[in-house]
Structure 1
Amino acid sequence: MNKVILIGRLTRDPEIRTAASNLNIARFSLAVDR
């Protein structure tokens, strides 16, 4: 398992879905100041 730390603002609500192997996946957009 990889660990990532991101700092910013969410630009919209996360999209959560379940993969075939009963694994939950979240997709989101992040705004950063760079």
Structure 2
Amino acid sequence: MSINEKTGNPGSSREMEELESKIEQLEKELMTEK
């Protein structure tokens, strides 16, 4: 996914932000498990 796709489509950029937040939460959970 390129930056042009994120800036060119506000709807997809919003989904990207939601996915990034979910990924951060999963990473934190993995770190606490280790």
TM-score, structure 2 as length reference: 0.20
Higher helix share: 2
TM-score, structure 1 as length reference: 0.20
Higher strand share: 1
Structure with more contact order per residue of length (Cα contacts < 8 Å, sep ≥ 6): 1
